[in-house]
Amino acid sequence: MALARSKARREAIFGLVALICVIADQATKALAREYLAPGEAVPFIPGLLNLQFTVNTGAAFSMGEGLSWLFAAIAIVVVVALAIGVWRTGDLPISLCVFAGVIAGGAVGNLIDRLASGGVVDFFATAFMDFPIFNVADVCIDVGVILGFIGYVVWDKNREPASSEPHEDEA
């Protein structure tokens, strides 16, 4: 019974975090559409970050222009794989469920844009260097992947000794 509650808790955390990320992403994109003129840079954090509305029909760094259908399919596969991973891995730490939810939420946020308009609304532009314009979903995906990878490596390393100890008949 406790294992079922623990599993349900992990699944709920994954779903709730993903939902929060989608809401944050879609709300900020709605504000960008409402208040930012295309191409106009508005200082947000002077010298660091501007707000600049654009629609990206590609992926990271505007690569793959016009392949929104492919990136939508990839996003669906990633979200389904993350959900299955959280559902099937009974001993997954809560932190990894959170990171998976952050990645899934970011993927769904951009997926909504791709399905609704064929492109993704971007609005964060670095002021101190020439860097692609991005959005909250992109931040979620990047941070989730980096922290999730680190968390997974640490978790997997800590699990390894228990499973790699030689059995009595092997020693």
**CA-to-CA separations, 33 to 4, 36, 39, 121, 123, in angstroms, rounded:** 43, 6, 12, 8, 9
Distance between CA atoms of residues 124 and 68, nearest Å: 20
Q: How many degrees, rounded to 5, is the angle at CA 54 between CA 24 and CA 40?
A: 105
Catalytic residue among 91, 122, 130, 169: 122
Query: Tokens 């629609």, residue?
Result: 55
How many CB atoms lie under 10 A from the CB of residue 96? 20
Catalytic residue among 138, 142, 156, 169: 138
Pairing of β 120-126 and β 49-56: antiparallel
Query: Tokens 């997974």, residue?
Result: 152
Q: Among 11, 159, 2, which residue's Cα sits nearest to residue 84?
A: 11
How many CB atoms lie under 10 A from the CB of residue 21? 25
Told to judge if 138 belongs to the known catalytic residues of this protein, a careful annotator would answer yes
Told to judge if 156 belongs to the known catalytic residues of this protein, a careful annotator would answer no
Q: Is 111 exposed, middle or buried (0-12, 13-18, 19+ CB in 10 A)?
A: buried
Q: Which residues are catalytic?
A: 122, 138
